[in-house]
Structure 1
């Protein structure tokens, strides 16, 4: 039997924020996203240069667990970069909080982990040319 269901790609990750507008500003200013759409709830859809979308929505009042890379569930979002050294220099100029040093990436390349202003775990990743 042929499976008629096929994933075409990832549409968007979403992050819940204490302040939707402030976090959207940070992702645009620091990471280069562009504002694509905002509705009244408020929810922002931000677009990266390659067309991928990031959704920023308001958080609820449920307690937040302490997260690590090994906490069950989604652990981080990794952003592809062409030049990781230049990306690190740019992020340093915005005084971001790093949670790792530059390290080998699983599968090839180099990666470094940091936090957005609300404590969400992010990575920048430069893959080897053969991946």
Structure 2
């Protein structure tokens, strides 16, 4: 039994310099949909492609990049990485592979926040 009864929603929050520009980046690069911009609160929220998981963007003059690393599953990591690299998205080194388990690649948004792509390799094993 847990101390807190959690529901099935998750919001992954980032601090960014320009919420509107960052929201556009997440829309263009990852296909997320902006739900709203609460300009008076300095907050924007986007729906990811995963039910119950949203991205929150808090606007700060000095954002704190790298404070969280959300992991997003993809069917074909190599193709996804190639598309992002073609769009000048910066990756942190080579793709890591744990044979028969997972393939991962860390990349960064415009404010230096780390994100990760992961391909499940257990299905063919």
The alignment of Structure 1 onto Structure 2 pairs a total of residues equal to: 120
Matches of residues 62-101 of structure 1 in structure 2 within 5 Å?
A: 64=64, 74-101=67-94
Gaps of 5+ in 1: 68-73
TM-score normalised by L of structure 1:
0.78
Question: Which moved further from structure 2: 53-62 or 109-118?
Answer: 53-62
SS of residue in 2 equivalent to 1:12: strand
CA displacement 1:70-113 (0-9 Å, x = unmatched): xxxx54121111111111111012111111211125x9210011
Moved over 6 A (4+): none
Structure of higher RCO (CA pairs closer than 8 Å, 6+ residues apart): 2
CA RMSD of aligned residues (A): 2.4
SS of residue in 2 equivalent to 1:101: coil
Between Structure 1 and Structure 2, the one with more strand by share is: 2
SS of residue in 1 equivalent to 2:94: coil
Gaps of 5+ in 2: none
